[in-house]
Amino acid sequence: MSLPSSFAPLLDNILENISVDPLAGFAPQKRKLVWQTLVDQDFTTAEKASSLLALKTAYHVLPIFERSAEYMVKVGLGNHISLANDALLTAQAILDGKGDVEAAFRQAGNEHNLIGNIGGKLPCNTDMALLASNKALVQVARPSFQQLYFNSFLPSTDLEWATSGQADATSTAVIAWSCSKTSYEPDRSPMLDFWRWWLLEALPEAWDIGLTRQTLKTN
């Protein structure tokens, strides 16, 4: 898996920054540089890669949501234990050319409203993992939303952005991966692990698939 050669200096700089400070070394404003560098290389491939990356990123944290199934049943949310997976299956169908884009976008809107009602009843990491699936569905159904995200105001931290309700799949997923059940505050070590996976595995794979349209590996 490989990214354009023009991306190498930026990647090296990001990896160095996150090693020093995983909490701020790859903040939302800095991820805008990643998007812009890839767009400048090939807009069509970058847009496809953005959707693919959103889906892969959300799948990465899906097990966090699934591990809360028993708890959700216990607190009366058993009807929603498939909510995250349903969103990702719809997103996958869109990417495979088998889904209804407008219906998917409506599904994302309905799920977003539902998450607003039940999120406070979930463990913090479960809530963020669920949000990541919803954001991924939005980004797949409307690839242009990635550009809209980065054209809007970007908070200085992923925690601020993820908990605002306006974030993308990446911000919500990294918080899901690095926070605990009882606090949204991220831990440095798992956050660093997440960014290394995202930069060195998920992003290059998404770019390659954007070029070739092979099958996305979600695990």
Residue 50 to residue 147: CA distance in whole angstroms: 10
Q: Please tell me the pTM assigned to this model.
A: 0.92
Residue 178 to residue 176: CA distance in whole angstroms: 6
List pLDDT tens digits, range 87-140.
999 999 999 889 899 999 899 999 999 998 998 899 999 999 999 999 999 999
| SS3 at position 54 | helix
List pLDDT tens digits, range 49-95.
889 999 999 999 999 999 999 999 999 999 999 999 999 999 999 99
**In the predicted model, what is the mean pLDDT of residues 139-153?**
68
List pLDDT tens digits, range 149-205.
556 666 778 888 888 777 889 999 999 999 999 999 999 999 999 999 999 999 999
User: Where does 42-155 have alpha helices with state H?
Assistant: 43-66, 69-74, 83-95, 101-118, 124-141, 145-151
Q: Can you give the residue ranges of every domain in the chain?
A: 5-212
Measured over the CA atoms of residue 83, residue 180, residue 175 and residue 201, the dihedral's sign is: negative
Distances (CA, A) of 37 to 13, 41, 95, 212: 14, 6, 23, 19
